Structure 1
Amino acid sequence: MSVDRLNKRLRTIIILWLVFMGLTALSWLVLSAWRTAMGGLLLGELGGLYVVFSMFRQGHHNDDAQGAILMASGMAGMFTRLIMIVAIMVISLKFRTIFNPYTALIGYLLGFVFVFAGLYSFARGPISKEK
């Protein structure tokens, strides 16, 4: 696996995520009847942006982290992502007139979907053309 190829794929995922957030913000402005649902989705996507950045930043693709350090890094990332979803849900439940909690949860989970879908073919490795 090439580190340059991986970095290019990570940049592509981040750009696509930001474009998706921009489209959600645009729909929040245009679709006034769905403003609460779009507000929740946008709130969740902001948390999903943290998911995307935290998973890439803590990915250790440029160093040789192994063992306990790698395990501690993964646990810290999981813990901060858990804190983020709790904060998003508390905010969306506290301000139900502005944010829909269900769409906020969907927006947050879309961050994981983008990471998984973006790295799936990369993780499978090159497809052999041999018969």
Structure 2
Amino acid sequence: MKIYTDTEFYKNQYLLGRAQKIQDADFPYWVMLASGEIRQLTFNRVEDLGEIPDEVRMCCCELAEKLYSVESVKDENGMVLQSYGNDGETGTYKTDDLSESGVQRSIVKIIRKWLVNTDLMYCGVV
């Protein structure tokens, strides 16, 4: 299984001097998950390419950041606390954007953003 980008590309080409959301030690895990999502929506076509295009690498970086940010805001029950009140211990949980279907929509949106103008997402017969 190919990993579609690396830490150097993430820092130098994708971030362009911005602060890292994903630390170096955690980056391989999140980029592996992102590569798997891209692999699924491109019908494994990236695996057949000799060199990974920059569009795929940029997509992988953005997707890794999205997956990391979704996971980092969840509590121990997998829910996102939107507000909390200490008068009676009340809390409101946000579930729409971070629900499984909401996250999946975000994943598809990011992959389409970067790869829609490539042949990688084409569903028909070549």
TM-score, normalised relative to structure 1 = 0.36
Q: Per chain length, whose mean CA-contact separation is higher, i.e. which structure has more relative contact order (CA < 8 Å, sep 6+)?
A: 1
Q: Which has a greater percent of helix? A: 1
Q: Which has a greater percent of strand? A: 2
